[in-house]
Structure 1
Amino acid sequence: MVSRIKFAAFSLFFFLAFPLFAQEAPNSALDSAIKKKALDHKNKTSFYKAQAFFLEKNWDSTLVYSMKQLAAEKNPEIIDYCHYFRAFSFKSKRLLQEARKEFAQISKNFQFYYKVRLYLGEIALEENDYEGAVRYFKEIEKLPETGTYDFKRGVVYHNLGLCYLHLKKFEEADAYLSKGFKVLQAEKDTVSLIGSYMNIANLYYEQYKDDLAIPYFEKAYHLSKKIKDVELKQNTALNMAVVAENSKNFPQALVYRKEYESWRDSLNDQNKVWAIAELEKKFTVRQKEKEINILEAENKLKIAERNGFFYSSVLLLVLFGTGIYFYRQKIKSSKIILSQKMKLDELNAAKDQLFSIVSHDLRSSVNALKTSNAKLLESLENKNFSELDTLLQNNSAIANGSYNLLDNLLHWALLQTKQLYFHTESVHLFSIVQQMELNYRPLMQDKGIRFENLVPKGLYAQADLNSLKIILRNLMDNAIKFSNENGQIVIHGSASEAYCILTVEDFGLGMSPEIQQELLDDSRLVAKKGHTEKIGTGLGMQLCKSMVQKNGGKLRIESIENQGTKISIELLKTQRNE
């Protein structure tokens, strides 16, 4: 047994941690998932480049393109992959604090979240946070062995044993190091086995079990002969030198020391060779760059000479093409202007017709009101009270018609100048029709008209409430106006797959197909409805059509002369319909 004093000196040299680190195996499940994700999101250029550089182990480029993708990404899955790329790149560059921050931003929904916990455990181990490392590695240990987890369990067991060794929990350290050794031996991972041998040796030396420790140092030394890692060969030789010195076997210790020096010189020479090779490479690159620059200058002169003729030819073609283009544009503009002029002439004609008809209707209404008022005054002077009621009702009808005409004209003007505000909402059609009935009940009673509301109570439409009231008011005005005495008006309601349909039906005078076509024509106004006693502009129907279209609906007319008229409006249906 080596003395405690000698062991203390030895431990200064060799009680070192040899943690084993998980590496991304080529063609692993993660690599396959990354490639598939990149193909699914080819349009995300920065993500596609980041994954390509990640698989090539070009960490700096991976960090650049993953950050570019994160700056504009909203997909949580892509964000997790980008943080993983950055975290693993920082870890590979030994920037552990930055790596830990990136790993912490990956959500638990990430398909390979267990790898995040594994690498956080390795970072904690490197930062000497052994209790934190144990917590992370314990999570990995609990994963079922039957799952599709591509990591080496032997490495996890080994690192758990190493953590317990630093925490002076020797029983746990012995159990995990032994368990890890068996798994690594079965996997025939030579480099990991050498680290495992040395850590088991350190475990026994820490407990002053020199006889058990030395054979493991020897195994590590002999196994290192089979690998090409010069640094690992150097460390195992140094271990054996100190073991021999502690055993007072100085000749053998000298042999190991020489071997150690030889491997150290070899490593230094290798580093020097690499440095010289790097310098030579840079020098060669510079020479090539100079040659390339000279060739580029010569090529530029040749290209300039060759392109002179080409550019002049292109310029001529461009000038010719530009002339043709502007000529065609001029012809096209002339056609557009002519078409707009014709449209403007039609609109001006419609405007003039509208003003003529509206002024005629207003003049007729005012003249009728003037005549009626004269008769009213005469009846008052003669005290003919029986005629007063008829005259007053006549005045009311004339005033009401004039008001409706002016109201329609105002709304039509607002629509034409795009000043009418539309706000669509869910409206209960039965209630709107019921309100219309209350408003028009006096007029219907005056003509003895029966009204029937057949709109289902569960029918809701998506429409602007104010414009819907204007539409129904105009349709009710027309239905009352063209109904016979003691007639009937019915409002039906139904629903299709996407629309609610309201139909205002009267059984009055009806209209000819020609009048129906004129009413449905957007650019025409109707001076008369085919009845000299029923004079109007057709402005109300034009207003109804425009407002129905604004609400995303349609207007239809069905009419037979002397049998009645059906006017239907289709409005978008809401989700509240029963």
Structure 2
Amino acid sequence: MTLKLLSFFFFLLSFILHSQNNNIEDKLFSAIFEKSKKNHSNDDFKKASIFFIQKNWDSTLIFTQKTLKKSPKEKSIKNLSFFYRGVSLFRQQVYHEAENQFGLISNDFEFINKVQVYLGAINLKLKKYEKAISYYQKLTKLPNKESLYLNEAILFDDLALCYFFLGNYNEAESYFKKSNVYEKDTLNLIDSYINIANLYYQQYKDNIAIPYFKKAYNLSKKINVDKKKFSEKDRKIYYRKSVATKNMAVVEENQKNLKKALLYRKEYEKYIDTLNNRNRIYEVAQKEKEFAVATKQKEVDFLQVQNELKETQRNNFIYIASILLVLLLISGYFYREKVKTNHIIAAQKETLNELNATKDKLFSIVSHDLRSSVNALKSSNAVLVDNLQSKNLEALENLLQKNSSIVNGAYGLLDNLLNWALLQTDQGYFHIDTLRLFIIIEHVAYNYKPLLFEKELTFENSVSKKAMIAADQESLKIVLRNLLDNAIKFSKPHGALKVYVEESDDFWNLIVEDTGLGMSEETRLELLKDTALLNKKEHEDVLGTGLGLSLVKSMIRKNNGKFNIESELGKGTKMIVSLKKVSLSS
């Protein structure tokens, strides 16, 4: 029962709230823009209309504010200005203020039905479900919804969500089915399948819910994306793929199909990584675009100055002398700026050389280990083919487990490489907060259950629930993932893993203990050195570069903590992380 309730809360988070169809909304915006052209007397309103059709929400808010300050007499200008502001604030997720702006629109506004759509969506997002229902119910009774720029499928879907969150499952089921009938858009159809599945799953109707989850997953697999352009639509597709895949992972976990669940989770992580990488690329592209615009603007400004100078030269000698004096001063200023810039460039070059040296060393070792992983996988696959032909199932299972370990090791190496790069370039988000250590360990350890099960290792989290520490949550999770990964990697089958704490004056000493291979004193001292980026491996048959441990030490230092190792060859290892204690009273 507990597992089922936990999975329900997971699925609840996977409900997808619809927005109005983009094509319908674009048609609406075009119709509104055509209507706004009739009001040419107000320049600020004209600019606001142009920015609105371009979906430049900040500029729309600025010029509508200027329009309303002048108190226009035309009722249509006021209504459209309030509508522009409501939509802009809604798009920027300022829901309370958006509701206030929509409330100022008069009831005889030509697009009042669309205003009610936005008010319903706002109240749904603010969790005022009964109020949202009152708006949506009125809209469902209107004829010719398409001519009113309404999407009937989305209206029914949003109504179903409202009834679901109110606990009225019969009404929710009815409207979800209606939505499914009217839905034509593939992405929205995936959303509907997921929402219907969650509805049944909440009612413990697994035999009905699971086929809908599978429908959503299978449909998401059929959608292709343009990997070169990766538009906003492609982002939405990847998001649906990730939600559908993650739902399937939890379904398989609940059915104790851990191997299938692990495959789904890996597929989900692939989608999430793609989204994260593309988001970073998109942000860089935006910055480059802004820089290009700024550079072009400087060029325009410079040309304008040149034209002004030419006009001035046609005047008298006094003006020419004044301009020459100004140019001399500007030249001096730019010369000083150039000298200053050269100093900055020299310093940056020195830093860049150091980073390149570190990068070359890192790439050399990482590429060597990746090559070893791929070579091991290649050799294993050759043996796998031979055993497949001979139908040696026991050998096949062992080889598949070996391949899985190799792939997991390579994936962990790449994940550590990304986090190490973010740490070196100071791009990661870092915020020290008060954390309960037991809960963090439970969250991280949950993802390692399949690996623990596969290697038949026992795991015990006996950390005191009173242990409160001051640390950054995400970097602490990276530390724990690497320590648990190493403990599992260097443990023998049927071994044991324990995580516990020991209290000192100012620190909680978090200890990750295994009964694995252990290490020599020479290796232990080498691993504790700050200068070594990567270390020689004690056990050549275990994949690893030492990058994870280097990342662990860096993260612990950033959290004002300490790190130590206790180990003996053949008798297991204790990895000790000391973190600042926070008293419960504080």
* TM-score, normalised with respect to structure 1: 0.50
